[in-house]
Structure formats: structure tokens, C-alpha cells
Structure 1
């Protein structure tokens, strides 16, 4: 199977864009993720899929984390955490009991580690939701390798 072509096929599934943050060694780390989903309501669980080649993998192992769901207009924040930072930081931190989260995101989901699974070239992290918050707005979308608008009807 041609991996690039398969990736193009999977890119036809529109997703939202998140930044996952966690605290290690007194520092806040974050990385952009669009492979995120809700798994269970009882107990409340979410899943984040992380590439095995990313530096973030070891920081997330056995660690609390926060999923920051980005909203329309936060493309620069997504790119910052995807390894393409701007000269000026395009976001502000907000301190919570669970760590630092990205201020003004569409929602925040604070998680404790629940389980970790082999996912081929990715690792699947399940987090048990400890706290969450959300606000009104339009999400930042991702479709066919580009940012996209997702608008309610």
C-alpha cells in the first residue's frame, strides 16, 4: 500500500485541531494533534494518538495532560506547537490545577493517564477526564492537509 496515498485518503476525514499540553521537569510542553476523539462517557475517557518519532511521546507517558481544542483564528497557535513558531508567541498560558492550558481555546479537557496502547507507528494514550470547560465559537478545522472552516448549519 502506498503510504502517501493512504494518508491522502485519510485526509478526506475532516477533524478539529487540538494542542495537547503537559508538565514535566517544571516546564510546560505542547504539541499539535488532530487525531483526538472521545472514547467513553462512563468513565469519561478521551484518546490522543501520538507519533512514535515525536519528542512529545516520552513527556506524555504516565503524565497528566490537557487537550486544548482550538477555535477559528488559532492557526498560528497550531503551527507554533507543530514546530513552526512565530517570533512572537501567538497564545497566552492559563494556569489550572491540571497544569497550563491555552487561554481562549474553544474547550479544555484535563486528563489523568488511563492506559497506553500500541498503535503501529503511533502510541494511543487514553486519558480519564478530571475536569473540562468550554465556550461558544467555531472550531479550527483540518481537511486534506490544510486548515479549514467548520461552520454549523
Structure 2
């Protein structure tokens, strides 16, 4: 089986776009991720899958993190944390309970580390939810290798 073809296959599953932020002694770090899911309601757990080659991998190991779920108009923020930073930050920070989060996100979920697991070429981080909030708006979606948006029914 071909890995590239498998990537195209799973790309048919539309996902939201998140930026995972975490604090270190050197500041706030973040990465764009669409491999995110809810795992459990009791206890409240979420999962984030991070490529082992990602610079942010070491930042997340045994560290608190925040999942910032992006709105449709936050494409530049997604690209900034996907390795294409803008000269002027396309977002503003706000203080959360466990670190800095992206202001005006569609939602955020603040987590303490719960567990991590080997996932092949990725590491699966489970976080225990300590605080969350959601807002009204349209999500930024990722479908077939590009940003997309929700089509509203009429």
C-alpha cells in the first residue's frame, strides 16, 4: 500500500483546524494540527496526534497544553503555526488558566497531561480537560489538503 494514496484517502474526512499551544521557559509555542478528537467524558479527555519530526513535540511532552479551535477567518493563524509565520502576528494572545491561548478562537480546551503513546510516526497525547469555552461562529475546516468551510443548509 502506498502512504501518499492513504493520505489522500483519509484526507476525504473533513476536520476542524486547531492550534495547540504550550508554555516553556522560553515562551509560548504552538503548532497547527487537525488530528484532534474527544476521547472521554468521564474523565474529560482529548487526544492530539503530533508528528515525531515536529519541533513542538518536545514542548508537549509532560506539559500542559491548550487546543485552540480556529474560526473560518483564522487561516493566517493556522499557517503561522504551520511553519509559515507572518512578519506581523495574525492573532492576539490572551491569558488562560494553563497558559496563553489564541484570542477570538471558536473554542479552546485547556488540558493537563494525562498520558502519551507511541503512534508510529506520531505521538498521541491525551490531555485531561481542566477548562473550556466555546463561541458562536463558523469553523475553519481542512479537506483534501486545503482549507474549506461549512456549507450551510438553506
TM-score, normalisation: structure 1: 0.98
Q: Find the counterpart in structure 2 of residue 42 from structure 1.
A: 42
Asked if the contact 2:35/2:49 (under 8 Å) is kept, the reply is: yes
**Closer, same or farther in 2 for the Cα pair 1:10/1:109, shift >3 Å?**
same
Answering whether residue 30 of structure 2 is matched by residue 30 of structure 1, we say: yes
Answering whether residue 149 of structure 2 is matched by residue 141 of structure 1, we say: no
Q: Partner of 1:137: helix, strand, or coil?
A: coil
Q: Find the counterpart in structure 2 of residue 4 from structure 1.
A: 4
Find the aligned partners of 1:3 and 1:144 in 2 and give their Cα distance. 15
Find the aligned partners of 2:80 and 2:111 in 1 and give their Cα distance. 22
Answering whether residue 113 of structure 2 is matched by residue 108 of structure 1, we say: no
Find the aligned partners of 2:31 and 2:51 in 1 and give their Cα distance. 11
Number of residue pairs matched by the alignment: 153
TM-score, normalisation: structure 2: 0.97
Find the aligned partners of 1:151 and 1:100 in 2 and give their Cα distance. 31
Find the aligned partners of 1:45 and 1:6 in 2 and give their Cα distance. 28
Q: Find the counterpart in structure 2 of residue 55 from structure 1.
A: 55
Q: Find the counterpart in structure 2 of residue 117 from structure 1.
A: 117
The root-mean-square deviation of aligned C-alpha atoms, in Å, is 0.8
Asked if the contact 2:97/2:131 (under 8 Å) is kept, the reply is: no
Find the aligned partners of 1:113 and 1:53 in 2 and give their Cα distance. 20
Q: Deviations over 1:16-46 (max 9, x none)?
A: 0000000011400000000000000000000
